[in-house]
Every structure is written in structure tokens, then in C-alpha cells.
Structure 1
Amino acid sequence: MKRFLFLLPFLIMLSFLLLFPDTSFTCAASGLMLWFETLLPSLLPFMIISNLLIRTDLLKKWIRIPSGLWHRFFALTCDGAYALLLGFVCGYPMGAKVTADLYRENRISKKEAEYLLTFANHPGPSFLSSYVCLQALGQKALILPTYCIIYLANYLCCLLFRKKADHSAIAADTCPPAGNEKEISIQSPLGEILDTSIMNGFESITKLGGYIILFSVFQGVIKKVFTPLGPVMYVMCGVTEMTTGITALAGTGWSLTFLYPMLLGITAFGGICVAAQTKSMLAGTDLSFGPYVWAKLTNFLLTGLLAFLFVEII
């Protein structure tokens, strides 16, 4: 039964591809262009450089100075803070990818990795400003409030799931000053490390492209089947694939009181497509996916509530 339920969406998509080839082609092409024009140029360089830094063991040289900040406010080691920073700068799903890479390289413990998954994988500032505020809502004035709401809700998630932090690893994480750190010994030639980092980056970005195309087609199925339901269909599109769903919701003409909390809530949640991408980034590890799911549902509620209060009060 589990296998049938897992395969059912793909059987539905296959039927959709055969019955509506023109619509399915348009949906797939839309997903492909989203990947090619947005994700490929914006994420691939970060993926390659991130892999290179992790494999050459240069992380603490970058983030050792504010070690007290990572320990006190986020309950993270200096290595774990790198996943938080990359997740913040790059957005989905770089936080999850760097977390998994650090865990594979034994830079962080399993407990810290699962704790990181509850708040280090979130939308990046460029996506929030350019896509959500300017393109979807058309309101430049909402950029700063959107930053505050999204990242405040994310930090509240960090506090709510703080009991999952690896406090023993934090106590042992001294992050020594630069003058006392020993020279790093690199086991493999730099050229080989660079090649491996490039191939790892291309493998990861190709996976993301496949997920985006699949979920774009599935979104076409939703629009075809649930169009008579109106608002429900738009919400389902947003929950399925965040980016195109946000565009669909923005075109409904709903009042800002309802639209803004819904858009930010879906952005904080990331959609099922981002969840699938995140799961794929954890492949080859024994990290549990449960903490991520619960944290994202919590983040959805917190973000929606903060956005609603902002619209109503401010």
C-alpha cells in the first residue's frame, strides 16, 4: 500500500503527460527555465566553493572570530555556523546541503546536523526581495518588513527546537584564535579536490532541476483538476511548488491582509518541492527528516501569524 501511494502521483502525472501533452510541455518548460535561469547561475558557484572549503578544512579560518555568537545565540559549533551562513546567503536548499556535507566529513555530529535542519534551510534575501516583494507583490516598501518577519520566525524556530542542540559539542568547540591554529594538512591534491567539488556541485544542481520539472508538471495537474475550487487551487499550487505558486497567488487579487501572510507562510514552508529537494540533499546519510518537517510546519504558522499582525497593526 505504501508503495502504491508513493507511485500514485507519478501515475497521475504520466496520465496527464499523455492526455494533455501541450499543457504538460508548457509546465515542464516553465520549470526547466526556472532552474536554468535562476537556480543554476545563483546556486552552482556556491555549491562548488562550499564543497571546496569543507574538503580543505578551511572553515574555522572564516568563522572563528564570532564563536561566542554561534555558541550563545544559536547553540552551534563554528562548523555548524557555516551551514547557517550559507543557508542565509544562498537560500533553499543550500542550508540542508552544507549541513549534510559537514556531517559526511565528520565536521559536525548527527545531533547538531538534525538541529541545524530545523532552521538553517530557509529562503535567501535575494529571493525575498526580488521575487516575493518586487515581482509578486510589487511593493518595495515591504522588503525590510519581509526580511524581519521571515528571519525572526526562523530564529524563533531555532529557540523552540534548541533542546535538540548538541551542547557537548559546543563545550568542546574552542574555535582557537588565528595565531594559535596549526597549519592545515590537505590529504588530496588541490586539483583533485576541485574536480570532486565541481562534480558534486553539478550532481546536486541537476537533482534540483529534476525535482523542479516534476513538481511543475504536477502543479499543472492541480490547475487542471482543481480549477473549480478557486482559492483552494491557488493554495495547493503554492504548497506544491513555492515559486510558481507565489506568482499564482499574487494574481488572485486578494486583499493584503490575507495575501501577505499566505505568501510569507508558503515561502517560509518552502513547499513540497523544496522538501523533496532537501530530502535528496540528505541522501547517503542517516539524518532524520522528521525534525525538518516539524520545524517547517511550525515556521509556516509563526511566519503567517507575524505577517498578519504586521498588516493589521502596522
Structure 2
Amino acid sequence: MTALKLISCFTALTMIMMILSPDTALTAATRGMTTWWNIVFPSLLPFFVLTDLLIKGGVVSYVSKLFAPFMRPLFRLPGEAGFVLVMGTVAGFPMGAKLTEQLYSKRAITKQTAEHLVCFTNASNPIFITGAIAVGFLHEPRTGIFLAACHYIGNVFVGLLLRMYYKNNARSMPSLTPVRSEAPIGKLLSDSIKQATETLLLIGGLMIVFSVIQASLPIADVLLIALPFLDEALTHGLVAGIFELTIGAELIGSSSASIQIKLILISFLLGFNGLSVHAQVASILAHTPVRYRMFLLSRLLHGTISAGLMTIALPFLSLSDTPVFNQPELSISTYGLPWVTALTLLIYGILLIRKFSTQRISYVRRH
């Protein structure tokens, strides 16, 4: 069965389940939309806009000189890769893919370099790991540093292992000449906002779709019937996390399993990212020759390495076997963030109207 036929069958099954259980689909869609509107859009927008301005301002070419001394010998990558690695770690996914696509479109890196780079620069946001997961889902703040360490060290291991696969990377890399846009700052800012908004709208749509797919398909129930010895709560959490990381981590954190098992499973999910993030990365890189297969394999490798590192680190964690429920729930204040989303979308709409009006005037004058 070809991939297209498999996707068609998968889509048809999802639609049937949505018709049979519309309330489940609506709840899942609302949950995905709320998360994107309140948290994802306002938190990622500044990073997307500012990094685009930095690239257009020619900053990357200068920053690359700082990273070149260790990026080349360690990963066989140019100094520009260091900028992507740092921003991908600080901002979280899919920032690494977005920056890789921008550098490739400007011919700053080769196809092979872009493929290598995107495989280990899409990490989870440190605030998400130490705050939302460690404090909010696990109620164990002490686990945050261990989760983050295993996650980022695992990512470095992936980059080092891929270094052996992309052996000719160092010899095929072109030198990046500083390129600065001469456009007025107002146009640069408006273009950056439009590009960032379009990317975030795409991310929001994918989050909603995968939230609905995860809730509609009874994959976990089928696994429990086939393998009745599996823990029900952990199975539901793991399957949900394969589709959408945040939902899966929350379900695993609320299960009655030991904290050690939770940490190992969540470490794997953090490395894998979830199919929702995979779809975001694939969409961003759709106009590049970067192979999704390599990204998928690298995420599976990262998840496995992170879970293994967490298993090794567990003896150094002084944690009880029983979950801690008496600690206060994480309260993430999102006051004002929805207004940021609404205001940005309003600005985006005004810019689109202005663009179409200008094009119409130009067309009328030509004819």
C-alpha cells in the first residue's frame, strides 16, 4: 500500500469516527485551538519576527564566525548552524526548521547541511520542560533539570552521530557572504510579521487537526485489547503523546504509575516531538529537498537516547515511587496573551488588504 493510499484510509477512518462522536472531535478541536491562541501564537511570534529581522539584517553571517570554531569539528557544520541550534533550543520547535528553511532559501547552506541541521535543532523549549512538565504535570520541580539535561544532551548525541553519516558536509559547504536588506525598516518589519503570522496559522491548523485525530481514533483502546497487560493510563498517554506531545505528557503525568516510569516515557516523547510537530516541520520544509525520513529517524533516535539517559540518571534522583499530588498545581498566567494574538491577526489582515489594494492599483494603471 502506497503512502497516499494509507493516508487516505487513515483520513477516511478519522472522518467516520468524527461523525460517530462529534462531541469528542469538537472538544479536541477546541482544546487545540485554545492552546494555540493563548500560548503558542503569542509565545512564538516574537521569536519568529526577531529572527527573521536578524537574518535580513545580515547578523547571521557575523554570528557564524563565533560558532565556527566548534561547530565544524564537532558536527561538520558551518558556523551558521550554531545560530540555528541556539535559537531552536531557546524558542523550541519548530524554530530550528524555520531558520533552516530561511538559510537554505538564501543559499547560505547546502541541501545536505540543511538536512543534517534540521535533524537536531528542533528541541523542546526549556520553559516547557522545567515549568509545564516538571512542575505542572509531574508536580516534581526537581525533575526539570534532569529532563532538560537528558533532552539536550540526547540532541547533541544525535548531531554527533549524524556527523558520521554526512561525511562530506564539511567539504561541500559554501562560505556565506554577509547580505543585508536595503529595504526600509517599516517594510522589513511588516514582511517579517506577515511571514511569521502565516507560519503560525499553519502551526495552529496542524495542532487542531492532530488533536482531533488523536481524540477520534481509538488506537490506545485497540492496543489494550491486543495487549491487556499494558497499563491503561500510560498507554493512552503514550499514544496521545505520539500525536501531540503536550496532551501525552499531561496524561502520563496524571497517571498512577511510578515517577520513574513517567520520566522515562516523557523523555522519549520530548525527543520524538509528536506527529503534530513533525507535520509542522514537514510543512515548513515543503519547498526544500530535505527528506522527512531523516527527520523521523533522528526523532526516534533522540527519543530513545533521551529515555536511556534518563534511565541512567534515575539513581541520582531522590524521588519517591508514589506520585506527589499535594503540591500546588502549575498556574501559567495567560492574561493578555490572547489580545496579542488578536492584535497581530488584525495587523496581518490590514497588511493583506493593503497588499491587494496596491496590486489592484498597479493592474489598473497597466491596463
In the superposition, the TM-score normalised over structure 1's length comes to: 0.90
Matching of residue 268 in structure 1 with residue 263 in structure 2: no
Note the residue ranges of structure 1 that are not aligned, 5 or more in a row: 176-180
* Percent identity (aligned): 25
Q: Does residue 204 of the first structure (1) align with residue 199 of the second (2)?
A: yes
Once the 2 structures are TM-superposed, how far is the Cα of residue 73 of structure 1 from its aligned partner?
Answer: 3.1
Distance of 2:180 and 2:261 partners within structure 1: 55
User: Following superposition of structure 1 onto structure 2, how do residues 82-231 of structure 1 map, counting pairs within 5 Å?
Assistant: 82-163=83-164, 164=166, 166-168=169-171, 173=175, 185-222=180-217, 226=221, 229=224, 230=232, 231=234
For the pair shown, the structure with the greater C-alpha radius of gyration is: 2
Structure 2 regions of 5+ residues with no counterpart? 225-231, 318-367
Partner Cα separation in structure 2 for residue 44 and residue 35 of structure 1: 11
Question: What is the count of residue pairs matched by the alignment?
Answer: 306
CA distance in 2 between counterparts of 1:154 and 1:224 reads 29
Task: Write the distance in 1 (CA, Å) between the matches of 2:260 and 2:220.
Answer: 28
Q: Quote the Cα distance in structure 2 between the aligned partners of 1:224 and 1:156.
A: 32
Q: Aligned Cα RMSD in Å?
A: 2.2
Q: Distance in 1 between matches of 2:235 and 2:148?
A: 27
Q: What amino acid is the match of 1:284?
A: H
**Cα distance, 1:248 vs structure 2:** 0.9
Contact residue 223 and residue 233 of structure 1 kept, 8 A: no
Aligned to 1:310: 313
CA contact (8 A) 2:237 2:251 kept: yes
Bigger helix fraction: 1
Secondary structure of the equivalent of 1:101? Answer: helix
Deviates more, 1:297-306 or 1:9-18: 9-18
Taking the aligned partners of 2:20 and 2:161, their CA distance within structure 1 comes to: 47
Q: Distance in 1 between matches of 2:212 and 2:81?
A: 36
Structure 2 CA distance for partners of 1:143 and 1:193, relative to 1, 3 Å: same
Deviation, structure 1 residue 215: 0.8
Match of 2:9? 8
| Amino acid across the alignment from 1:41 | P
Distance 2:11 2:220 in 1: 15
Summarize the Cα distance change of 1:224–1:85 in structure 2 as closer, same or farther, 3 Å threshold: closer
TM-score (norm 2): 0.78
Question: Where do 1:294-305 residues align within 5 Å?
Answer: 294-305=297-308
Per the TM alignment, residue 35 of structure 1 is displaced from its structure 2 partner at its CA by 0.7
Displacement of 1:111 in angstroms is 1.2
1:71-106 deviation per Cα after TM superposition (whole angstroms, max 9, x unaligned): 233332122222111101111111111111110111
> Secondary structure of 1:298's match?
helix
Q: Which runs of 4+ in 1 moved over 4 A?
A: none
